[in-house]
């Protein structure tokens, strides 16, 4: 079964009774039973520890309102304008969203699907990950115990990770798109497409999968360039030394790069200087549910609906030759969990361009996270593999129900416990879901996850967590490092990174990516002028182009281009126009019509629609196998006249919409979209030429 974004799994130990725990705690607080401290000690001894979840604030009462109210609130947490740039966080690159997910998968996992039952003791939940920032999601137990993760035939003392190979992606998927060769840029996979990695959740969406791959390559690169000398202790093998170096640099990134992006730096500084006040444990740390089920689920609010992924999959306003933007839905599909969209492996044109996710190059390329607030994009309210319209299809609803099931306290109670300034009811209900909050009393008693997000809106200016959220997240991350005897913070607190970086003694995610040196693997395939397509090249007009400059670039003539494209005025071409450019200027060519292949198309059907022949299309586009064309491929189709039978050729004018054009010509928006391969029905541009079916 396909898992949705951020879906957590649970392993529930039977026989634990949270209601009894609540009763004992209440009696302790009233003086009728054993002391609260004694209860906490017993629970800690019996349940909490590195393999268990527990409570950071065990003395606070659980908040379990009726499910109906939580479902209504969760459904109200839908972002109404998911592609509005003004709702981006201008300071946080989108890569941090998926680095956060990768970190989450490193420290917490409960492996049984579904919501916990009512009245569950969180201490009965098994954490299948070590609550340490030790990259066990990457290494598991090392090459001796988990050889399947490592390159075969390599000495285990110098083990490197296996890396998968993409499959060739054909040119023509969009104008000027090249064929891209197989690349070492996929996760290693079994024949059933399942990724061979330490945590299968890191193949849930393509961005976390490519993040996992970047860390595989990080280890491999360190093995190639392992510095001489001691890096924090005597290690038995080069592999052990590389693993420690990778892990410590990763821990540094979490503490000094990732956390300052999402929480109040003053709170983090206070915890590091003055110690933890609320996350207390004896021996090794447990995983607090206030963190895992509430505060650290902030990342769900940061997810975008659409990404500019690389040159091939981006908004055409950013990359005019792109095929289509990388929607979150597509990013789910092009993974093992999504069946790789029917492909045998990841196509090469889906390899990530890291410049678009971290500040590595041109800031205009950057995807930004969404604002940190109480809204989730529509796709997260319709999780893949979940029944549409059902409560469990909404990630927001699932998070709220999960918090109730495990007995999280209210946000107000936690604020009082940590001495924070509690949000006022009017602040909590200030939004388009205010009526829902007031109706169910959530403005007075607020589910902790919602409270943390609302606090980020009010106190963190939509950029970082507020007092409560920052306190929980800071104390847990610092505590996980302090509770791990192998972390740099425990073994060598004054350690500083040793790998190359922009600032010596520091190391950020951008330094990690530069060190791996695989930032934009497909760029070299995009040559000026686009791919060769038989006797024609497909070209999209760029700003500043003239027919003369295009003809010079392709070694052809203005007359040949005008003849092939039916251009009456050589001085009138427009940005975004798709041209079929002849590569043989001295050979007469017929009139051409660019066509984007649709699902279900065949060359016979296309030839019939344009009154031409299969042979002519094959020859013009240098098609090796007439039975193999694919959705999104751009073809230059020879036609006998300017207008294919049954079609009207219309040039878009100011004010035109597809709805109005469909009404005028007696057809439907869907038909115009299908014929012209329009990715976004709301986006057509002045000067665009559309084939419109006659009604």
Name the band, by pLDDT with cuts 50, 70 and 90, for residue 17.
very low
Is the domain spanning 18-178+185-516 CATH 1.20.58.1000? The answer is: no
Please give the pLDDT value at position 675.
76
**538/580: higher pLDDT:** 580
Instruction: Confirm whether pTM is higher than 0.75.
Output: no
Sign of torsion over alpha carbons 374, 85, 7, 473: negative
User: How far is the C-alpha of 641 from the C-alpha of 509, rounded, in Å?
Assistant: 56
Is the pLDDT at 123 greater than 60? The verdict is no
Name the band, by pLDDT with cuts 50, 70 and 90, for residue 129.
low
User: How far is the C-alpha of 204 from the C-alpha of 199, rounded, in Å?
Assistant: 10
Name the band, by pLDDT with cuts 50, 70 and 90, for residue 300.
very high
Name the band, by pLDDT with cuts 50, 70 and 90, for residue 614.
confident
User: How far is the C-alpha of 261 from the C-alpha of 264, rounded, in Å?
Assistant: 8
DSSP character string of 530-587: ---BTTEEEEEPPTT--HHHHHHHHT--HHHHHHHHT-S-TT---TT-EEEEES-TTS
Asked if 473 and 259 count as a contact pair (C-beta separation under 8 A), the reply is yes
Is the pLDDT at 495 greater than 70? The verdict is yes
Residue-wise pLDDT tens digits, 147-204: 999 999 999 999 999 999 999 887 655 556 788 889 999 999 999 999 999 999 999 9
Is the pLDDT at 13 greater than 50? The verdict is no
| Structure-token pair, residue 332 | 């789910």
Q: How far apart are the first and last CA of the chain?
A: 43
User: How far is the C-alpha of 142 from the C-alpha of 153, rounded, in Å?
Assistant: 15
Name the band, by pLDDT with cuts 50, 70 and 90, for residue 585.
low
Report domain extents, the chain.
18-178+185-516, 527-645
Lowest-confidence pick of 32-46, 210-224, 361-375: 32-46
Closest CA to 126 of 56, 72, 51, 183: 51
User: How far is the C-alpha of 448 from the C-alpha of 7, rounded, in Å?
Assistant: 18
Closest CA to 435 of 178, 16, 69, 87: 69
Lowest-confidence pick of 72-81, 98-107, 244-253, 383-392: 383-392
3-class DSSP string for 412-447: HHHHHHHCCCCCCHHHHCCCCCHHHHHHCCCCCCCE
Please give the pLDDT value at position 230.
43
Q: What average pLDDT does range 325-353 have in this prediction?
A: 90
Q: What average pLDDT does range 496-507 have in this prediction?
A: 94
Please give the pLDDT value at position 114.
56
Asked if 330 and 494 count as a contact pair (C-beta separation under 8 A), the reply is no
CATH superfamily of the domain spanning 527-645:
LysM domain (3.10.350.10)
């Amino acid at each position: 079964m396909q898992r949705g974004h951020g879906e957590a799994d649970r392993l529930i130990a039977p026989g634990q009774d949270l209601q009894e725990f609540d009763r004992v705690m209440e009696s302790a607080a009233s003086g009728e039973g054993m002391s609260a401290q004694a209860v906490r000690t017993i629970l800690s001894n019996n349940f909490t520890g590195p393999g268990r979840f527990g409570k950071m604030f065990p003395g606070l009462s659980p908040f379990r309102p009726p499910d109906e109210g939580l479902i209504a609130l969760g459904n109200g947490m839908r972002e109404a304008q998911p592609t509005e740039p003004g709702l981006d966080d201008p300071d946080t690159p989108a890569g941090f969203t998926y680095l956060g997910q990768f970190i989450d998968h490193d420290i917490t996992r409960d492996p049984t699907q579904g919501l916990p039952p009512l009245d569950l003791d969180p201490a009965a939940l098994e954490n299948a990950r070590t609550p340490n920032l030790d990259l066990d999601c990457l290494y598991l137990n090392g090459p001796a115990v988990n050889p399947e993760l490592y390159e075969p035939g390599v000495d285990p003392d110098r083990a490197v990770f296996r890396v998968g190979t993409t499959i060739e992606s054909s040119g023509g998927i969009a104008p000027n798109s090249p064929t891209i060769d197989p690349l070492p840029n996929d996760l290693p996979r079994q024949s059933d497409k399942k990724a061979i990695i330490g945590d299968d959740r890191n193949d849930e969406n393509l961005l976390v999968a490519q993040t996992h791959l970047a860390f595989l390559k990080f280890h491999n690169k360190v093995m190639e360039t392992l510095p001489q000398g001691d890096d924090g202790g005597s290690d038995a093998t080069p592999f052990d030394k590389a693993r420690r170096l990778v892990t410590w640099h990763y821990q540094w990134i979490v503490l000094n790069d990732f956390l300052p992006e999402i929480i109040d730096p003053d709170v983090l500084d206070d915890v590091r200087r003055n110690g933890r006040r609320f996350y207390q444990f004896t021996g090794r740390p447990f995983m607090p549910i206030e963190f895992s089920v509430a505060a650290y689920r902030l990342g769900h609010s940061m997810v975008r609906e659409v990404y500019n992924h690389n040159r091939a999959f981006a908004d055409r306003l950013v990359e005019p030759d792109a095929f289509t933007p990388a929607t979150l839905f597509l990013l789910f599909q092009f993974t093992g969990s999504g069946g790789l969209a029917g492909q045998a492996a990841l196509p090469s044109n889906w390899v990530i361009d890291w410049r678009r996710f971290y500040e590595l190059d041109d800031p205009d390329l950057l995807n930004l996270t969404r604002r940190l607030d109480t809204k989730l994009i529509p796709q997260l309210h319709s999780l893949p593999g979940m029944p549409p319209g059902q409560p469990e299809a909404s990630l927001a609803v699932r998070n709220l129900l999960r918090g109730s099931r495990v007995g999280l306290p209210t946000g107000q109670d936690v604020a009082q416990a940590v001495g924070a300034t509690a949000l006022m009811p009017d602040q909590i209900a200030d939004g388009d879901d205010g009526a829902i909050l007031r109706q169910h009393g959530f403005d007075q008693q607020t589910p902790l996850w919602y409270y943390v997000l609302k606090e980020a809106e009010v106190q963190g200016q939509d950029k970082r967590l507020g007092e409560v959220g920052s306190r929980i997240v800071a104390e847990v991350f610092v505590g996980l490092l302090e509770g791990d005897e192998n972390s740099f913070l425990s073994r060598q607190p004054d350690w500083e990174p040793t790998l190359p970086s922009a600032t010596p003694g520091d190391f950020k995610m951008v330094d990690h990516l530069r060190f791996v040196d695989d930032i934009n693997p497909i760029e070299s395939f995009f040559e000026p002028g686009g791919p060769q397509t038989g006797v024609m090249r497909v070209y999209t007009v760029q700003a500043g182009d003239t027919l003369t400059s295009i003809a010079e670039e392709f070694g052809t003539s203005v007359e040949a281009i005008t003849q092939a494209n039916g251009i009456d005025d050589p001085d009138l071409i427009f940005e975004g126009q798709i041209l079929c450019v002849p590569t043989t200027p001295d050979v007469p060519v017929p009139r051409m019509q660019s066509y984007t292949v649709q699902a279900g198309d065949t060359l016979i059907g296309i030839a019939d629609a344009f009154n031409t022949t299969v042979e002519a299309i094959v020859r013009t586009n240098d098609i090796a196998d007439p039975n193999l064309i694919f959705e999104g491929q751009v073809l230059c189709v020879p036609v006998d006249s300017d207008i294919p039978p049954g079609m009207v050729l219309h040039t878009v004018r100011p004010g035109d919409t597809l709805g109005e054009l469909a009404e005028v010509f007696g057809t439907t928006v869907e038909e115009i979209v299908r014929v012209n391969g329009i990715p976004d029905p709301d986006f057509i541009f002045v000067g665009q030429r559309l084939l419109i079916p006659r009604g």
